[in-house]
Amino acid sequence: MALDQSFVGRSYPPTAPYEVGREKIREFAEAIGDTNPVYVDPEAARALDHPDVIAPPTFVFAITFKAAGEQVIKDPQLGLDFSRVVHGDQKFVYTRPVRAGDRLTVTSTIDSIKSLAGNEVLSVRGEVHDENGEHVVTAHTTLVARATPAQDTPAAAQEAPAAEDAR
């Protein structure tokens, strides 16, 4: 069933602040095998004029996707069948890197809803601000609700975004 176009432009309330910890950044950098000292060593970060260690560019997805998942994907009024949802596109636009000590809130907005070959394509914008209300990064996430099971879809977007969404 086609998603309701009137949801385009809908914004959800800002999330409760997520506090970025040095050790969480370290854990993430190690998980992607990235040994750049700017992620783990405050001295190395300061040498590049950062007040504390910074996070790898894609770190913030865990925060923005949680916001999108809890607010948009599960919005009962929107009625997205999240068992069919896969991750299509992802883009980040940065004002500055996320860094340890940040308290980040996410404001999610539905940018577009399209129907392509029977698939529903939903674009969500997650704007991330720090505790002073300053913009940090915007995440643009495109989710595809497949019309058919995975084996029948073209190769595009066989990536499902979150555990509970695939069950």
Partner 1 sequence: MTAKVSYDDVEVGTELPAQEFPVTRATLVRYAGASGDFNPIHWNEKFAKEVGLPDVIAHGMFTMAEAGRVVTDWVGDPAAVVEYGVRFTKPVVVPNDEKGSVIEVTAKVAAKLDDEARTVRVDITATSADQKVLGRSRAVVRLA
Interface pick for partner 1 out of 8, 42, 50, 70 (rule CB under 8 A): 50
In sequence order, the β-bridge partners of residue 54 are: 99
Tell me, residue by residue from 99 to 138, as one string, x for binding to partner 1 by CB under 8 A and - for no binding. ----------------------------------------
Residue ranges in 59-88 that form contacts with partner 1 under rule CB under 8 A: 61-62, 65-66, 86-88
Q: What are phi and psi of 105, to 5 degrees?
A: -115, 150
Q: What are phi and psi of 28, to 5 degrees?
A: -70, -45
Tokens 């500055």, located at residue: 96
Contacts of 44 (CB under 8 A, 6+ apart): 37, 38
Binding interface with partner 1 (CB under 8 A)? 27-28, 30-34, 36, 38-39, 48-50, 54, 56-58, 61-62, 65-66, 86-94, 96-97, 140, 149-152, 155-163, 165-167
